[in-house]
């Protein structure tokens, strides 16, 4: 089949009506999804790399297919190892090696499996909208060292003006929603809380993610003091017991932590399986529950006095507030719209 070029012009030969018809057919082919005929990526022209994650071994690329005006996003990802093929030895028998170097008992090699084991997962979005492209772009973050003064003068006023609805939390407390996901409930007004499966969690042990929502109206980590120790200890002890009984996860395999900044300003503790790479578990956002308890035991108003760093996305309006206040450095200021 001859290649269709969206910018081609017709010869003077065909009639005007035929020209219009041919142009319409070309336009249809240019906007039609490529998936009906796609067999390889020979005609994919790269515009830019949206994301290259070396840790997770995947890359997202924006580009277009030759002869088509509409953009496309191609994601390539290394495939996971098959436990069955490893256990039976099928994978190892397919591998050839090329030595790179050796030092004493250590050797490093390039590994070349047979084609059936060396494939990549490819996800292709075409035509891709600007929202698709934005979704796959590398998210640029900045680290802000929030002092207590910054919290009261910048962060807190910003969140108070947003007036994010927390009705969904009240619905859980009032038994109006998500009752099939509630794992435990303590109705004590001072140290009570509700344990509920996170909406993204299927409840499977290996990807477990549970939230413990405080009944007492507390905004975040910043507001915690010694009066909240009974609540924090209650969450720690009960969550360990419930999760151990229901999911057979011991306390040594249970990660319990706060987010700062939190995604919503109602105090909650995240509980996840230690082997699960749950969202927001990295040091610039996660604060372990046991560490928080210990800090308050050592200094009752620790979180009112501490400088707490947090990562913030470039598109977050709060970053602009820090820019306007002159808190972030000059190099970053020029990069923030």
Summarize pLDDT for 309-332 with one digit per residue, the tens.
999 988 889 999 999 998 887 555
So what's the pLDDT on residue 17? 61
Average pLDDT over residues 10-35: 56
Task: Tell whether 168 is in a known binding site.
Answer: yes
Encode 186-212: b = buried (16+ Cβ within 10 Å), e = exposed: eeeeebbbbbbbbeebeeeeeebbbbb
For strand 254-259 and strand 193-197, is the pairing parallel, antiparallel, or unpaired?
unpaired
Task: Tell whether 268 is in a known binding site.
Answer: yes
How far apart CA 76 and CA 60 sit, in angstroms, is 7
Predicted confidence (pLDDT) at residue 12 exceeds the cutoff of 70? no
Q: Are residues 108 and 145 in the same domain?
A: no
pLDDT category, 11, cuts 50, 70, 90?
very low
Task: Tell whether 86 is in a known binding site.
Answer: no
Asked if 231 and 217 count as a contact pair (C-beta separation under 8 A), the reply is no
Q: Are residues 105 and 134 in the same domain?
A: no
How far apart CA 294 and CA 317 sit, in angstroms, is 33
CATH number of domain containing 278: 3.30.428.10
Task: Tell whether 263 is in a known binding site.
Answer: yes
Q: Are residues 154 and 134 in the same domain?
A: no
Summarize pLDDT for 132-167 with one digit per residue, the tens.
888 888 778 899 999 999 999 999 999 888 867 899
What is the share, in percent, of the chain residues with pLDDT greater than 90? Answer: 67
So what's the pLDDT on residue 238? 98
Task: Tell whether 260 is in a known binding site.
Answer: yes
Summarize pLDDT for 35-53 with one digit per residue, the tens.
888 999 999 999 999 999 8
Residue 279, domain extent = 141-333
So what's the pLDDT on residue 8? 41
Active site residue 268: yes
Whether omega before 92 lies within 30 degrees of 0, making that bond cis, reads: no
Summarize pLDDT for 82-138 with one digit per residue, the tens.
888 889 999 999 999 999 999 999 999 999 999 888 889 999 999 999 988 888 887
Looking from the CA of 327 toward its CB, the CA atoms found within 13 Å total 21
Task: Tell whether 206 is in a known binding site.
Answer: no
Q: Are residues 30 and 93 in the same domain?
A: no
Task: Tell whether 14 is in a known binding site.
Answer: no
Phi/psi at 211 (nearest 5 deg)? -110, 140
Q: Are residues 84 and 7 in the same domain?
A: no
Q: Are residues 257 and 194 in the same domain?
A: yes
Number of domains in the chain: 3
**Cα distances (angstroms) measured from residue 288 to each of 43, 124, 143, 242, 266:** 49, 39, 19, 19, 17
Asked if 58 and 75 count as a contact pair (C-beta separation under 8 A), the reply is yes
Q: Are residues 271 and 196 in the same domain?
A: yes
Task: Tell whether 261 is in a known binding site.
Answer: yes
Task: Tell whether 273 is in a known binding site.
Answer: no
Task: Tell whether 130 is in a known binding site.
Answer: no
So what's the pLDDT on residue 22? 53
Helix (H), strand (E), coil (C) string for the chain: CCCCCCCCCCCCCCCHHHHHHHHHHHHHHHHCCHHHCCCCCCCEEEEEEEEEECCCCEEEEEEEECCCCCEEEEEEEECCCCHHHHHHCHHHHCCEEEEEEEECCEEEEEEECCHHHCCEEEEEECCCCHHHHHHHCCCCEEEEEECHHHHHHHHHHHHHHHCCCCHHHHHHHCCCCCHHHEEEEECCCCCCEEEEECCCCCCCHHHCEEEEEECCCCCCHHHCCHHHHHHHHHHHHHHHHHHHHHHCCCHHHEEEEEECCCCCCCCEEEEEECCCCCCCCCCCCEEEHHHHHHHHHHCCCHHHHCCEEEEEECCCHHHHHHHHCCCCCHHHHCCCC
What is the gyration radius of the CA atoms in the chain, in angstroms?
A: 27
Predicted confidence (pLDDT) at residue 237 exceeds the cutoff of 80? yes
Q: Are residues 268 and 299 in the same domain?
A: yes
How far apart CA 146 and CA 328 sit, in angstroms, is 10
Instruction: Name the token pair of 129.
Output: 């909208």
308 Rama sector, left if φ>0, alpha if ψ -120 to 50, beta otherwise: beta
Q: Across the chain, what does the average pLDDT equal? A: 88
Phi/psi at 270 (nearest 5 deg)? -90, 140
Q: Are residues 172 and 252 in the same domain?
A: yes
Task: Tell whether 269 is in a known binding site.
Answer: yes
Q: Are residues 170 and 27 in the same domain?
A: no
Q: What angle do CA 3, 7, 13 make, to 5 degrees?
A: 85
Q: Are residues 265 and 306 in the same domain?
A: yes
Summarize pLDDT for 261-286 with one digit per residue, the tens.
998 999 999 999 999 988 899 999 99
- pLDDT higher at 282 or 335: 282
Q: Are residues 93 and 205 in the same domain?
A: no
Predicted confidence (pLDDT) at residue 30 exceeds the cutoff of 70? no
Domain boundary among 109, 138, 167: 138
Catalytic residue among 126, 209, 228, 268: 268
Q: What is the dihedral of CA 247, 249, 251, 256, to 10 degrees?
A: -70
């Amino acid at each position: 089949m001859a290649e269709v070029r969206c910018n081609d012009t017709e010869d003077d030969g065909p009639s005007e009506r035929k020209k219009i018809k041919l142009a319409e057919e070309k336009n249809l082919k240019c906007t039609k999804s490529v998936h009906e005929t796609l067999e390889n990526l020979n005609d994919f022209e790269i515009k830019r790399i949206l994301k290259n994650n070396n840790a997770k071994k995947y890359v997202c690329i924006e580009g277009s297919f030759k002869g088509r005006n509409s953009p496309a996003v191609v994601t390539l990802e290394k495939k996971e190892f098959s436990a069955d093929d490893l256990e039976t030895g099928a994978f190892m028998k397919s591998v050839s090696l090329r030595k790179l170097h050796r030092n004493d008992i250590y050797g490093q090699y390039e590994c070349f499996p047979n084609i059936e084991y060396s494939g990549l997962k490819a996800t292709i979005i075409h035509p891709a909208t600007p929202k698709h492209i934005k979704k796959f772009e590398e998210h640029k973050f900045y680290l802000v060292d929030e002092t207590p003064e910054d919290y009261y003068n910048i962060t807190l006023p910003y969140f108070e003006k947003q007036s994010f609805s927390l009705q969904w939390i009240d619905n859980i407390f009032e038994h109006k929603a998500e009752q099939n996901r509630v794992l435990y409930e303590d109705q004590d007004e001072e140290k009570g809380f509700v344990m509920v499966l996170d909406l993204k969690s299927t409840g499977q042990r290996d990807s477990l993610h549970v939230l413990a929502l405080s009944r007492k109206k507390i905004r975040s980590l910043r507001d915690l003091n010694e009066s909240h120790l009974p609540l924090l200890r209650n969450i720690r002890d009960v969550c360990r017991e419930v999760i151990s009984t229901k999911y057979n996860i011991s306390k040594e395999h249970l990660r319990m932590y706060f987010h700062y900044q939190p995604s919503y300003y109602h105090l909650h503790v995240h509980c996840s399986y230690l082997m699960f790479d749950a969202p927001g578990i990295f040091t610039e956002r996660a604060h372990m529950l046991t560490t928080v308890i210990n800090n308050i035991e050592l200094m009752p108003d620790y979180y009112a006095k501490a400088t707490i760093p947090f990562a913030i996305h470039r598109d977050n309006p709060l970053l602009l507030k820090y820019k306007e206040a002159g808190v972030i450095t000059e190099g970053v200021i020029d990069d923030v719209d």
